[in-house]
Amino acid sequence: MQGRPGVLPGVAGAPAMRSTRRTAVQIALLRHFPTDWNAEGRLQGRTDVPLSAEGRAELALRRLPEAWRDRPILCSPLSRARETAETLAEGREVRIDERLLEMDMGEWEGRHGPELIADPDCAYGPVEGWGMEFRAPGGEGPADMFARLAPLFAELREPTLLVTHRGLMRAALAMATGWRYEGPETFRIKRFALHPVTLEGGRPVAVGTPEKLPLR
């Protein structure tokens, strides 16, 4: 597990004798399988781009690890995430939660990152230079994602699989590790892999080693 982040502190002035131990819950994050826009390097955001033929072919080869096969599944409402979750669920219930939507990229959706970076009048740039105040025009930024995720994490009381998007996963892992969109990411988001996150008191406090989805 990566070390404890600079999470929000507890209540100031609490009696020293009171135990600060909180129940730990492990969740797992999974990115949807690939789309044509992924292959083309386009920013997807909230645009409902379906899985590509290649993405569906790879999804058909994979299954959940045994430890996660009976766990609750929450999923973004976008079709690329829903199809990923429903295929891996193999008939079990998948609950939709809008808080797992991808970061809204506003006016930049459908554009190529290098194209935006080359525009001197565009504020888009590499994620390691965003900072917490970054926001896409007409869209969201890291602070919005943190605010969206905090109440969701606070509600989770048992191990749960969250099927979502890279931008959302980046925000969740940033919350857990203390990274603030400045400098290189302190974690790696991998394809076809579960990314464990430990919650304590409803707050993400550590991340584990990604676990590749096994072949069927």
Q: What DSSP state is assigned to residue 209?
A: -
Judge whether 11 lies within some domain: no
pLDDT of residue 117: 94
Task: Give the residue among 107, 92, 113, 89 at the shortest CA–CA distance from 166.
Answer: 113
Q: pLDDT-derived band of residue 78, with 50, 70 and 90 as boundaries? A: very high
- This model's pTM is above 0.85: yes
Q: What is the pLDDT of residues 81-103, one digit of tens each?
A: 999 999 999 999 999 999 999 99
So which residues are the catalytic ones? 32, 102
- Top pLDDT among 11 and 88 is at 88
pLDDT of residue 15: 44
- What domain range includes position 186? 24-212
pLDDT of residue 14: 40
Judge whether 5 lies within some domain: no
Judge whether 60 lies within some domain: yes
Quickly list H helices, the chain: 36-40, 53-59, 79-89, 113-117, 142-155, 166-177
Judge whether 96 lies within some domain: yes
